[in-house]
Amino acid sequence: MAERLYIPYPVIVEGRYDKLRLESVIEAQILTTDGFGIFNKAEKAQLFRKLAERTPIVVLTDSDGAGKLIRSHLTSMIPPDRLIHLYVPRVAGKEKRKHTLSAEGVLGVEGMERDLLWRLFLPYANADAAATRAKENRLSKTDFYLDGLTGGEGSAARRDAFAVRLGLPAGMTPNALLAAVRVLCTYEEYCALVGREG
């Protein structure tokens, strides 16, 4: 398989094992619904909606009934023109890490062959964006540290306040907030928000 594809859109999958699988195939902001957690986590729904205001979002769920239910829920809360739906085939089998078959006896995203996933995402890859991404937005965890948003006393509270200013949920981890801010703000806009020169 060729090198990882750069996908310029956030990608939503169901769980962390799906995310780990995709990280071996694509370079992207990969978010999880925490399975059915999306149904009762208002802050996660708020994050997805906010990101969708700025960029289309790729949705890739399992091909079983649960995956269809989660996809339907996402479709009901995000405008359809902001969603890119990708589908994995319905393949009988069991994931290597599991001792028993799933309820429907089919593989999820985590059980898909890397080559299949690579081909699935290929039409959405953007090599030019990968080459210029760092130049366009160099925001990093170092900036968060310098601006008191991580690694210091009171940084969690400052991070929460900053997230709320952007219309994002409080309680996000530094990595999750950084990924969201890189989508929502240019480096210069970020510097203006925290009150320093870029």
Per-residue model confidence as pLDDT tens digits over 149-174: 999 899 999 999 998 888 887 888 88
Position 169 scores a pLDDT of 79
C-alpha span between 119 and 153 (Å, rounded): 45
Q: 132 pLDDT band (50/70/90 cuts)?
A: low
The structural domains of the chain, ordered by start, are 5-130 (3.40.1360.10), 137-194 (no CATH)
Mean pLDDT of 87-98: 77
Q: Which stretches within the chain are classed as H helix?
A: 16-23, 42-54, 65-77, 114-121, 127-136, 141-146, 155-165, 174-184, 187-194
C-alpha span between 98 and 38 (Å, rounded): 23
In this structure, the strands spanning 83-87 and 57-61 are parallel
Read off the DSSP letter of residue 29: -
From residue 49, give the alpha-carbon distance in Å to each of 45, 108, 180, 185: 6, 25, 12, 16
Question: Residue 131 pLDDT > 60, yes or no?
Answer: no
Q: Residue 92 in contact with residue 51, Cβ under 8 Å?
A: no
C-alpha span between 107 and 57 (Å, rounded): 23
C-alpha span between 163 and 178 (Å, rounded): 10
Q: Residue 146 in contact with residue 32, Cβ under 8 Å?
A: no
C-alpha span between 127 and 7 (Å, rounded): 9
Question: Residue 121 pLDDT > 50, yes or no?
Answer: yes
C-alpha span between 91 and 89 (Å, rounded): 6
CB-facing half-sphere around the CA of 177: CA atoms within 13 A: 27
Mean pLDDT of 72-85: 92
Q: Residue 112 in contact with residue 95, Cβ under 8 Å?
A: no
Position 134 scores a pLDDT of 46
C-alpha span between 166 and 136 (Å, rounded): 20
Read off the DSSP letter of residue 167: T
Residues 6+ apart with CB under 8 A from 43: 169, 170, 171, 172
pTM, entire model: 0.73
